[in-house]
Structure 1
């Protein structure tokens, strides 16, 4: 896989891995809680590996992400062996930090370097998916500490709740606001409206940056 992924196509693989993670969470209707948890852990590990291979060209973040990945694996193994529920919080925090580092690396590669191509446009989609996933993890963390923070979403093992959290996150990020899940606690409300604000500004900032970079490239070619 490492030989196939290059700086010209790395965001294709990364975006596909993120989409697979989102799709796998929808299997909660056909899998038992234990199997769903194992599936999500497997797909999460797959995502981490694809992220690491895809972002190995960014040395600034690569070592940091490897360290997070190793920590996540140690915690995941410990969770399976000891069965301590509180370890879920540590896993969620490590996952959030890993996706945040991935977001920062992609953002740096897309908006801070060179010309715009199809790979970077796909990378902007990966950024959007990462935003939704990071906020989904935040909602799961809130539920870990406050079971009644949301209406329409109860406190469950994070694997069982991941699809609900991701659904609510992307509905909020795109400002659809269906209302079937809504925040109740003050902390949840703040996190939700911050996501809505980020969703609106993401489209404006990233799209404008991509268009501006593309126009600049055209001007250079014409000049």
Structure 2
């Protein structure tokens, strides 16, 4: 896989990995509860690996990602071995940091830089998916401290709630607002409307970036 991923297709692999994570998180809900967490965590590790390989062209972030991925694996093993549920909070923070670092690295590579190609367009999709995943993690962290922050959600482990919260996050990011899941605590409400604002703002940034890069290409 390392040789197959290059600067011309790296964002394709990353986007497919993120989509696979979202699809798997929904499918594992029909699996026995004992297997669910292992399957989801395995897919998360695979997603981390693809992201690291895709970002190896950015040495500044590659080492940071490798360190975070290793910390996440160690924290997950400790949680399974010791049965300490409080480690869930640390696991979620590491996941958020990893997605944030990946978002920053991709942004530096595709927004307002170079000419537009299909890989960059797909990279902009990866950025959108990462935004939704970061807010998903933020909502799960909130639920670790205040399980009653959202209506329509049950008090379960973050792995069990991941798919539902990802659904809510992307519904909010695209400002669809179906209303089947709603924030009821003041802090969760702030997070929700901030995500909606970020979703609208992101669309404007991406369009401006693509237009600017295309004009630069034509003038060149």
Instruction: Say yes or no: does 1:195 pair with 2:157.
Output: no
Instruction: Please report how far the alpha carbon of residue 208 of structure 1 lies from its aligned counterpart in structure 2 after TM superposition.
Output: 1.4
Give the TM-score taking structure 2 as reference length. Answer: 0.98
Q: Measure the CA separation in 2 of the matches of 1:212 and 1:51.
A: 27
Q: Measure the CA separation in 2 of the matches of 1:113 and 1:150.
A: 40
Q: Report runs of 4+ in structure 1 exceeding 3 Å deviation.
A: none
Q: Is the 8 A contact 1:149 1:183 kept in 2?
A: yes
Q: Measure the CA separation in 1 of the matches of 2:210 and 2:59.
A: 23
Identify the residue that residue 91 of structure 1 maps to in structure 2: 91
Identify the residue that residue 134 of structure 2 maps to in structure 1: 134
What does the per-residue CA deviation read over 1:187-208, in whole Å, with 9 as the maximum and x for residues that have no partner?
0000000000000000011121
Q: Measure the CA separation in 1 of the matches of 2:34 and 2:193.
A: 33
Unpaired stretches in structure 1, ≥5 consecutive residues: none
Instruction: Please report how far the alpha carbon of residue 114 of structure 1 lies from its aligned counterpart in structure 2 after TM superposition.
Output: 1.8
Instruction: Please report how far the alpha carbon of residue 33 of structure 1 lies from its aligned counterpart in structure 2 after TM superposition.
Output: 2.0
Identify the residue that residue 46 of structure 1 maps to in structure 2: 46
Identify the residue that residue 16 of structure 1 maps to in structure 2: 16
Identify the residue that residue 219 of structure 2 maps to in structure 1: 219
Give runs of aligned pairs for residues 1-223 of structure 1, distance below 5 A: 1-220=1-220
Q: Is the 8 A contact 1:27 1:36 kept in 2?
A: no
| Corresponding pairs, count | 220
What does the per-residue CA deviation read over 1:98-137, in whole Å, with 9 as the maximum and x for residues that have no partner?
0000000000000153222110000000000000001011
Unpaired stretches in structure 2, ≥5 consecutive residues: none
Q: Is the 8 A contact 2:5 2:54 kept in 1?
A: yes
Q: Measure the CA separation in 1 of the matches of 2:111 and 2:173.
A: 21
What does the per-residue CA deviation read over 1:22-70, in whole Å, with 9 as the maximum and x for residues that have no partner?
0001124421222111111000000000000000000111111111111
What does the per-residue CA deviation read over 1:159-192, in whole Å, with 9 as the maximum and x for residues that have no partner?
1100110000000000000000000000000000
Give the TM-score taking structure 1 as reference length. Answer: 0.97
Q: Measure the CA separation in 1 of the matches of 2:121 and 2:86.
A: 39
Q: Measure the CA separation in 2 of the matches of 1:25 and 1:137.
A: 13
Q: CA RMSD in A?
A: 0.9
Q: Measure the CA separation in 1 of the matches of 2:36 and 2:218.
A: 48
Greater Cα offset, 204-213 or 46-55: 204-213
